[in-house]
Structure 1
Amino acid sequence: MLYFAPCFFFLLQIFTTTTTTTTARTPPYRATDYILLNCGSSTNSTDHSNRSWEGDERSKYAPSTASTSSSALQASSQHSSVNTVPYMTARVFNSRFTYTFPVLMGPKFIRLYFYPNTYSNYNTTQSFFSVSVNNNFTLLNNFSADLNSPSASNPSFMKEYLINVGENQRIDLTFSPNQNSFAFINGIEIVSVPDKLYFKGNGVPIKFIDQLYYLQDNTVLENLYRINVGGTNIEIQDDSGMFRAWYQDDDYIFGDYGFYPHLDVQIHYTRQTPPYSAPEKVYTTSRTMANTSKSLEWHFPVDSGFYYLHRFHFCEIQLEITKSNQRVFTITIDNQTVDAEVDVIFLTGGTKIPIYEDYITWVPDDGRHGKKDLCLSLFPARESHPLYDNALLNGLEIFKLSDPSGSLAAANPEPLPDDGESGGMAIRPVNEKRSRKHLVIIGSVIGVIALIIAAIIISFLSFRSGTTRTSGSGSSLPSNLCKHFLLDEMKSATDNFNDNFVIGKGGFGNVYKGYINNGATAVAIKRLNSSSNQGVHEFLTEINMLSKLRHLHLVSLLGYCHENGEMILVYEYMAHGTLQEHLYNSENSLLPWKQRLQICIGAAKGLHYLHTSSKHTIIHRDVKSTNILLDERWVAKVSDFGLSRVGPTGGLHTHVSTLVKGSFGYLDPEYYRRQQLTVKSDVFSFGVVLFEVLCARPPIILSLPKEEVNLAEWAKHCLKKGTLEQIIIDPSLKDEIAPECLSIYIETALMCLRDRGTERPAMSDVVWSLEFAMQLQEAAKKIDGDVAMDIVGGGFSPLEKPISFPLLWNGGGPNSTDHEEMFSGSSEAASRSKCSGFLSSSASSSSGGARIFFHRGHYKT
């Protein structure tokens, strides 16, 4: 999945292409030793990244007895996620076997490739073995590739080690099968590493809590994590000559956080931090603290009983940070402070200059070298009184260090229960760098879901059999879900369903305003069409979903009634009706911009809660402006869960396969094409709502020219053509929207509408971005009340003022009280903003402002 800076969605799309050329400016490191061995193959082959692998059949690296002591075999099957080279062939050993690689002195990466599978008569579930290097270091012991496999859907993996080769100038890699077992390997890679990059020398200390640690050259390291913080995956061909893969951190980050996107800036490498330290893409992305967070925090599962080397990569490229003591932060690992005051500008002497800092920590043994979560936290160092309350991280590497006996071996993960859909192979805890945040017990999840489904089926059958009991206990639904109302109570509340009480109508039936508790409480009463089978299903779904959910931005279900075939739902009353009623086709007064923006933020928070805060992900599946209701205080609440579905459970399950349902104009096109529902389907629909709010028009208007009929398609079309100024904004908003706010708002909406769900933001990012837009709106008004915010008649364009990531003043004050400090940066940045800003196509307006047009009247369907 791709996750980007919520305040720079559109800019990131531009910068992603420009950073390709930026990376090309960095001269790669040229390895002095570079060996790729495709084990079990008799021919040379090319892998997916166009690297050439040598077959090990009769290889100079294998002993002459290889043909009698090992077997070259083909995998019996291939998963779609597994690359052919080097994984589809394997060398299988029934006895001790050694590869010998002549190499030059110095540090080397050793990468071992494994693909648990069946090779002829060898099933790797029965394979347990050890791997050693130069008879001095144990890399693996009693190792099971099957138990260490990331998952059933993506079972292949690589383990990476770093060794310093001495005067013998050779690497002897020995595989030793356990008794009555066998060993196997699919591929071996050896690539040299620049001197002093990781091994600084025996006399160079590393920070270790309140003392110093000396990493010896005869220590072997195992890389467990290599992270591009806040960015996307970086493939091996994009690394700086050592073919290191860098992975995004989404599965390890905890809490509230912010992004900083790829920027088209040239990183100024130094002798201390040479170009091969990390790719430029690492230093041009980062995470910083969001305004509501107290720290940046990551959790990484590691093996207990070992020392760990943590390499933190930093680079200040944010426009506001130009001097020392503006951003100072503390780093803790497992609640132990490893660095009390990190000031990147102070360490580097300026902006765009990368640096990395190394720290050593010890993880106590649990008795078996089992897994333990390692917590890394960064938070503001307020004692030094920095200008901003914030922290920063661009990249991270975590290495396990060999113990005094020269071993890196740890216990195999415990086998997990069969997931029920993987052909007998359980989804295992991820042991690689990606797709893992928690250990998920799949059997338990499936059991819970099965109980829910069973309850729904039983209730459904009861309804279908025509329950006719008339007492309060007559409902076939369990009374502990929510209050059960008597039919007589519903009739009394609505004057026997008097049409004068109707406040809404739809295919489901009517919605009435009623009064319960002796007329003291106003409620909304939805009376479903009892003749509809779909109505029965939606009735059950709504109760089972909403009765377990409570959130400020979700409509609360107060109870239900099921008697004499009636299906009635009782909700809290929303005094101001639907969002749509205050946008168009209504006699209601139109909402001002800040109120619209606040409503969007609230609805986004409600959807974020559905996607993340319940035991199981919930996908709404019918997000639209009529399902966003407004209470008496104009608080937005998401409603109508009749089409909602429990989302995927993780692991193999990335989507829910289901018939397409939703509302025309809001429907996710990817869901429509593939019939695969994900939370990103809700994100797409919400993107349509954002444009609906801005333009005050329905998502579909058949009377308009063909290209403008569908609002979402029209917005994307204008983006591709560079004619975003043609998007017609509600004229009632004239003089209200700050250009900076508008830029971020449209960027957010467009990112939600991306064709591929994986490229759309999560709802947490949407919430963050909209809140940032609100900050910009408020700041623009506070900074200078005389500044014209009329983006038609003048004012300043966002093109003239580069927008950066929000920062909190130390002490929780506003972002800044100075307009130039908040919205300006270097002349270089300002120049970039003019040529790559969001509304660049409209920068030529004769008025000097962005040419965004307001239509003269409301849309009518």
Structure 2
Amino acid sequence: MQTILVSTVFLLIFFSAAPLTNSAPYTPTDHILLNCGASSNTTSLDGQNWVGDADYKYSSSISKSSSFASIASYQEPSVTEVPYMTARIFHGKFTYKFPVSPGPKFLRLYFYPNEYPGLDITTSFFSVTANNYTLLHNFSAYLVAATNPQKGFIIKEFVVTVSNNKMLHVTFSPSPYSFAFVNGIEVVSMPTHLYAGQKYGSVRLVGTNYFFELDNTTALETAYRLNVGGGDVSNIDDTGMFRTWHGDMDYIFGAASGVAPFEPEATIKYTLATPIYTAPQVVYKTSRTMGPTASINSNYNLTWVCPVDSGFYYLVRLHFCETQPEVTMPNQRVFNIFLNNQTAEASMDVIAVSGGNGVPVYRDYVVWAPHGSPSTQDLWVAIHPSTKNHPEFIDAILNGLEIFKLNKTDGSLAAPNPEVEVVHISPLLEQKHSKTRRKFKAVIGATMGSATSLFLLFSYIFWQKKHLLLIQKFSQRRKVSPLSKGIGCKHFSLADILTATNNFDDALVIGRGGFGNVYKGHIQGLQYEVAIKRLNSMSHQGENEFWTEIEMLSQLRYINLVSLIGYCNDNNEMILVYDYMVNGTLRDHLYNNDKIPLPWKQRLQICIGAARGLDYLHSSAVQRIIHRDVKTTNILLDEKWVAKVSDFGLSKMGPIFMANVPITTMVKGTFGYMDPEYYRRLQLTEKSDVYSFGVVLFEVLCARPAVDIKLEDEQIGLAGWALKCVENETIEQIIDPYLQGKIAPECLRVFAEIAENCLREVGLERPTMSDVVGMLEFALQLQETAEAKQTVQVGDRIQARTIDEVV
């Protein structure tokens, strides 16, 4: 039985003993600052008083060894002493009891995942509950801090309503064989209806006609609080609730960041609907608009991208205030609001809604982030000018953005730990995994080759820098399983394979190639159909490539990569078993078939998915992976038309920190897709995959093979022919006839430019796959914007014709 410790906080602290420079618009009833592990009261750099928890009176029957104070081993530059340098460590279940007034409270938990004497912070996993809500489950502060961008400390902010019993219970529960810790706890009262507790009908679920009820039983977790167009706003400069607002630049999509007007002399006129405590004045005095050029503004969205946990509803609050002196009347600046590519509000006119210049207003929406893999996804917030009523300015504006996760029906706000890179280290370094790792000494003996020594040394330096040395059983993602230590996927017997394929019945063949045949089958014990690739003995993809693909795919799990289920090597067979892709290869839907042609938007989305898969291989997998055989037959499509990169038999791996360092290797690949620089110099880099993907892009656009010997000499190779057409501005003449007139001109221009850049002769001049993903997403935005505009124009014409007929 776990020991339960109960600590009661009897002292409430209101603000700070040190006076603040400005009186805040809101004075919280409760403001508790608890410096966990501290033996006395301390003052933080912002002038606030923190109470130590070492003197709290615990139950006399409780063992003191279940909880103890500790001090971090070192202080990083970004970390303040209070409240981060002391911590309370829990080996058993521990509950703080805060006596507070009824109503909603901000609950902030402060974590500094550092080294503490006698403890391995990488093994700390625990859960946190507050009253009836699960805030964190099997939480690892170390993993959260290690995700990009890396963080020195973590603040988790929640909103929890306290009932009439006037007690907030915060419980820390270590996972089995682990420990919990916390550095600081803050509890702050807030106005009753600031976020939750809103009346039914005030918040709409985007994409539906339904309203979302945010009553006082709803718990929230702050995901983002952005001062759009401005810089960070510290907690003591908030309106009295000590919220921190961050600048928005890191979340703007692409290079289209608009302009950021600042009106320091503007008078902000708060209202009953938008009280003075809603957001600080500086949030409303700063803003981000699209800029003064109407022609440019008409062709892009001002977009913010915010990664969120899958499987939750989110409250999105947008703050608006027109403070520029030229915008004072309705129908001067009107725009549409999009959340996750769905219209949240059409024709938003801040002046018309708020009542005048300098009057702030906010809009609340709820969006659903569906379950799926990976465990996080991007929440898109975009604004675009509305020209329906011919406003004076073709522009849009946003001042602030808040995003909150809403609890599930079981009261949980907990999400899985982030999926971080796990750096594979050599057995020598694995033996060194202990609390002495920071004192690692590289001893280069006379019997050890210098190259090996340098590799180990650089591997260790990188490993230290990334802070990602984890015990393997705790890693959440991509466990490396070298063949010498076993394979991380299932071995099937030949009998299983023969049964699944009806003794390799030709009627079940769904693909043929020089490598052999691919069969559709069903293996007993699996609940889904599989694709079974049987390599023949004469295949160019020999035994080495067979094992390479197994080793590689057994490590990789990503939505845009095909999943390897298992293999069979009985009786000298070389058989691979994959997830069955219902819609076959991308090439199947482009030419030489009787299938219905894919719409342009769907082709764009498939290209984006494939590009994400390649980007993952290049920069986010356990090791750096160069595919080396990117082509349309190696891009598969599942039942939802999600693109998945496949066939890793020719791939090359290397240390992730050696990105874009050439690998000297024999030339392999497919003619027509092969990087000419690689072919000439035998130097393989990620940019070789980029070149091949450029060919794929033109193949998608033109619906013809990469090589077609039936055509005239200059047209045989698609890459060279398409580049010539781009140069001559005749690319429209060679696109798929089915797409004629269906691609927005600006989208076609951007798409062709992306493909052209991928095919640059010099590899260093080509974009990265990450750049390609971003540019393709921009092309998709352009297409969607053009289609939306066309829909509006068609509607206007129909309406005008109807009126004429009536007249």
TM-score (norm 2): 0.51
Distance 2:216 2:362 in 1: 20
Q: CA deviation at 1:118?
A: 2.4
Distance 2:58 2:225 in 1: 29
- Matches of residues 143-542 of structure 1 in structure 2 within 5 Å? 143-151=139-147, 154-203=151-200, 205-209=202-206, 210-255=209-254, 256-264=256-264, 265-290=266-291, 291-292=296-297, 293-366=299-372, 370-418=375-423, 421=462, 423=464, 425-426=467-468, 441=620, 447=655, 450=658, 452-453=660-661, 480-481=676-677
Q: Per the alignment, do residues 186 and 448 of structure 1 end up closer, same or farther by CA in structure 2, a change over 3 Å counting?
A: closer
Q: Per the alignment, do residues 110 and 448 of structure 1 end up closer, same or farther by CA in structure 2, a change over 3 Å counting?
A: closer
| Cα deviation digits, residues 133-181 of structure 1 (max 9, x gap) | 11x1111111111111155963311100001212011100011111221
| Cα deviation digits, residues 631-664 of structure 1 (max 9, x gap) | xxxxxxxxxx99x9x99x99xxxxxxxxxxxxxx
Q: CA deviation at 1:39?
A: 0.7
1:72 aligns with 69
Aligned 8 A contact 1:235 1:244 in 2: yes
Q: Per the alignment, do residues 61 and 39 of structure 1 end up closer, same or farther by CA in structure 2, a change over 3 Å counting?
A: farther
Aligned 8 A contact 1:128 1:183 in 2: yes
| Cα deviation digits, residues 822-858 of structure 1 (max 9, x gap) | xxxxxxxxxxxxxxxxxxxxxxxxxxxxxxxxxxxxx
Report the AA paired with residue 212 of structure 2.
Y
Q: Helix, strand or coil for the counterpart of 2:405?
A: strand
| Cα deviation digits, residues 282-308 of structure 1 (max 9, x gap) | 111111124354211111111111111
2:438 aligns with none
Q: Helix, strand or coil for the counterpart of 2:170?
A: strand
Report the AA paired with residue 381 of structure 1.
S
The alignment of Structure 1 onto Structure 2 pairs a total of residues equal to 467
Aligned 8 A contact 2:31 2:186 in 1: yes
Aligned 8 A contact 2:232 2:244 in 1: yes
Report the AA paired with residue 415 of structure 1.
V
Report the AA paired with residue 266 of structure 1.
T
Aligned 8 A contact 1:303 1:369 in 2: no
Distance 1:207 1:60 in 2: 47
- Matches of residues 709-748 of structure 1 in structure 2 within 5 Å? none
Aligned 8 A contact 2:196 2:218 in 1: no
Q: Per the alignment, do residues 422 and 33 of structure 1 end up closer, same or farther by CA in structure 2, a change over 3 Å counting?
A: farther
Q: CA deviation at 1:195?
A: 2.3
Q: Per the alignment, do residues 614 and 298 of structure 1 end up closer, same or farther by CA in structure 2, a change over 3 Å counting?
A: farther
Report the AA paired with residue 222 of structure 1.
E
Q: Helix, strand or coil for the counterpart of 2:204?
A: strand
Report the AA paired with residue 337 of structure 1.
T
2:49 aligns with 52
| Cα deviation digits, residues 85-135 of structure 1 (max 9, x gap) | 11111111111110000001121100001111222222121111111111x
Q: Helix, strand or coil for the counterpart of 1:184?
A: strand
| Cα deviation digits, residues 351-410 of structure 1 (max 9, x gap) | 1111111111112112x8921111112112222332222211110000001111111011
Task: Give structure 1 stretches of 5+ with no counterpart.
Answer: 1-22, 430-436, 459-477, 485-542, 551-608, 616-640, 651-809, 812-861
Q: Helix, strand or coil for the counterpart of 1:384?
A: coil
Q: CA deviation at 1:337?
A: 1.7
Aligned 8 A contact 1:29 1:241 in 2: yes
Aligned 8 A contact 1:327 1:386 in 2: yes
Q: Helix, strand or coil for the counterpart of 2:107?
A: strand
Aligned 8 A contact 1:161 1:221 in 2: yes
Report the AA paired with residue 344 of structure 2.
V
Aligned 8 A contact 2:147 2:418 in 1: no
| Cα deviation digits, residues 686-719 of structure 1 (max 9, x gap) | xxxxxxxxxxxxxxxxxxxxxxxxxxxxxxxxxx
Q: Helix, strand or coil for the counterpart of 1:196?
A: coil
| Cα deviation digits, residues 576-606 of structure 1 (max 9, x gap) | xxxxxxxxxxxxxxxxxxxxxxxxxxxxxxx
Distance 1:336 1:242 in 2: 32
Aligned 8 A contact 2:146 2:420 in 1: no
Aligned 8 A contact 1:35 1:190 in 2: yes
Aligned 8 A contact 1:82 1:154 in 2: no
Q: Per the alignment, do residues 276 and 63 of structure 1 end up closer, same or farther by CA in structure 2, a change over 3 Å counting?
A: farther
Distance 1:63 1:278 in 2: 46
Task: Give structure 2 stretches of 5+ with no counterpart.
Answer: 1-19, 425-458, 470-474, 477-611, 625-653, 666-673, 681-686, 695-752, 772-788, 791-807
Q: Helix, strand or coil for the counterpart of 1:118?
A: coil
Q: In the alignment, which of 76, 83, 88 is matched to residue 86 of structure 1?
A: 83
Aligned 8 A contact 2:24 2:238 in 1: no
Distance 2:75 2:91 in 1: 24
Q: Per the alignment, do residues 121 and 483 of structure 1 end up closer, same or farther by CA in structure 2, a change over 3 Å counting?
A: closer
Q: Per the alignment, do residues 444 and 59 of structure 1 end up closer, same or farther by CA in structure 2, a change over 3 Å counting?
A: same
TM-score (norm 1): 0.48
Aligned 8 A contact 1:369 1:411 in 2: no
| Cα deviation digits, residues 788-813 of structure 1 (max 9, x gap) | xxxxxxxxxxxxxxxxxxxxxx99xx
Of structures 1 and 2, the one with the larger relative CO (CA 8 A, separation 6+) is: 1
| Cα deviation digits, residues 739-784 of structure 1 (max 9, x gap) | xxxxxxxxxxxxxxxxxxxxxxxxxxxxxxxxxxxxxxxxxxxxxx
Distance 2:657 2:91 in 1: 44
Report the AA paired with residue 143 of structure 1.
F
Q: Per the alignment, do residues 314 and 448 of structure 1 end up closer, same or farther by CA in structure 2, a change over 3 Å counting?
A: same
Give the aligned CA root-mean-square deviation in angstroms: 4.5
Q: CA deviation at 1:318?
A: 2.1
